[in-house]
Copies of this chain bind each other. A is one copy, B any other.
């Protein structure tokens, strides 16, 4: 790790916002020092990481706003990561959301970061997780990760959270859709927002019936009713988050901090680091020769990859590269 990066980490730990923002950019861009930064901040801080997901139009942003206000009222420091892996077709109104959150911009104890898909979706999920951890290390008590829409990408991103709230609205078919979309498997809390609308009692009943079919696992998934625009039901929501955090602590079943999570994270980082070294070695004359043949079409890409993996001396040479910046 370069001295400047080490300094950034120290400054971030002391609460400097600019240093935090710079480190976020570093991990978002998956720069060479990402793993070293993440290793350096490992175990620092202790935040509840909350995921909020649900279909477009469910009022997630208004809910996030009301929730932030409530948490600040309780004196908790809040970090927000707004992730948009989807296209505008799915109905996100990102600009509007940002404007709505502006009242928190002057609050030193709220830090908001937007992330969108630049490269691969897998990269976005890893960047989101790392940005959330930076917020934790910077001293936030609660880190909220919000996604626009509900696709496979959003499900991937939600894996980083300790507690996931799935937000639905009282509209026909939403329950069935939620099941199909795999939301039932990831929800720790269901929120029926816009609960002043027709059909809210019906969707609550449907969800509860659906939840009764699950095998019991120590945590009863609550179905809460909110009207985010009037801040109704927000107290109960914060209480449910706290109860779930208690449950994770007492049962030791916090998935993010569990053995399985650490294992898959280790493997993902390992793949990333090795990939980075390979890309860093692209100009190496020995690999360059093979790459040249691939680019000219003289060897097929699969055959060439197998050839390289089978050439231990070359492979070892590549992995000794520092990785590209």
Contact = CB atoms under 8 A, between A and B. Distances in A.
Interface residues of A, number: 67
Nearest to A56: B89
Nearest to A276: B309
A300 B43 contact: yes
A229 interface: no
Interface in A49-69: 55-56
A270 B87 contact: no
Contacts of A212: none
Instruction: Say how many copies of this protein the assembly contains.
Output: 2
Consensus secondary structure, chain A interface: helix
Interface stretch (A106-114, A144-152, A233-241): A144-152
A151 B90 contact: yes
A155 to B, nearest CB: 8
A266 to B, nearest CB: 4
B309 A36 contact: no
Given A89-B55, A120-B156, A278-B267, A306 B273 contact: yes
10 contacts: A38-B300, A42-B303, A55-B89, A89-B177, A117-B152, A121-B122, A122-B122, A267-B279, A273-B309, A312-B316
Given A35-B306, A36-B302, A263-B295, 11 more contacts: A35-B305, A85-B152, A85-B153, A87-B150, A87-B181, A117-B152, A262-B301, A263-B291, A267-B278, A267-B279, A270-B308
